[in-house]
Amino acid sequence: MFYYFDELGSTIDEARDEKYAHGDVVVARRQTAGRGQRGKKWSSAAGENLTFSVVLDTSFLRTGEQFLLLETVALALVDTFASYGLDARIKWTNDIYIGDRKIVGVLIDHSLGAGGMLARSGAGIGINVNQTLFDPALPNPTSMALETGHTLDCREVLERFYERLMVRFEMLRGGGREVLQRDYHSKIYRLDVPARFALPDGAEFTGTIRGVDPDGALAIETPGGVGKYLYRELSFVI
Ligand code: BTN
């Protein structure tokens, strides 16, 4: 079921409510406390974009397998953009980019079950659909309208995404993990090209992304060898 709200604090918090079941989608026209990665705020022009969370039963995944869900969601987004003629890439771990500009942010919230398993997850997704003017403080935003040259129907975008998410989710639940990993690999932003990266202490280096491990570690080759980096251990210099 799709649940539409005119205003919520954050769809992620609303989607935690046990009354929502697997496959339910909580959509807000406006979020007053939209959350982004690394404790940042997510701002989105009310009514112009999509801000929503999808509730997923992830009780078949171990706690160390969360990255597979990120891959699933990211690929469903890439599939959705492809259906609009847009060639999107996944900026590790789970930002979606068109060229060097961010078009989607994803934040996934998990609750844990027993015995080292997940229980359920809320995939919080903000897609820039029709917004064309952004806060200048945002480094590199774009939207579907800016990329396609026309405005789009947000509900239709959401429905297209939902269909594709369910296809990718069945791959995850069934025997399709290798396909997910292969497809994620083929869509990695800046794969196999020298790029600049920054470490948490601010030091920068040049390296080449060679892939992502199933646990989400990013493999970067430098003249010194291949280093593996986990979430928060590295950022891109764009
Ligand atoms: C990021 O920082 O890139 C992640 C942004 C995630 C934003 C979405 S909008 C819907 C859902 N509700 C939130 O509060 N955040 C996510």
What three-state secondary structure class fits 11?
Answer: helix
Give the helix/strand (H/E) hosting 71: helix 66-83
- Number of Cβ within 10 Å of residue 166's Cβ equals 13
Ligand 1 centroid – CA 36 distance (Å): 5
Residue 73 has pLDDT above 90, yes or no: yes
64-87 exposure pattern, b = at least 16 Cβ within 10 A, e = fewer = ebbbbbbbbbbbbbbbbbeeeebe
**Which residue puts its alpha carbon closest to atom 3 of ligand 1?**
105
**Which residue puts its alpha carbon closest to atom 16 of ligand 1?**
124
pLDDT (0 to 100) of residue 232? 83
Residues with CB under 6 A from ligand 1: 10-12, 31, 34-37, 40, 42, 51-53, 95, 105-107, 124-126
What three-state secondary structure class fits 156?
Answer: helix
Q: What predicted TM-score, i.e. pTM, was given to this entire model?
A: 0.96
For 79-127, write each residue's pLDDT tens digit: 999 999 999 999 998 899 999 999 999 999 999 999 999 999 999 999 9
* Strand arrangement of the beta sheet that strand 235-236 belongs to: 225-229, 218-222, 204-212, 194-198, 235-236
For 136-168, write each residue's pLDDT tens digit: 988 899 999 999 999 999 999 999 999 999 999
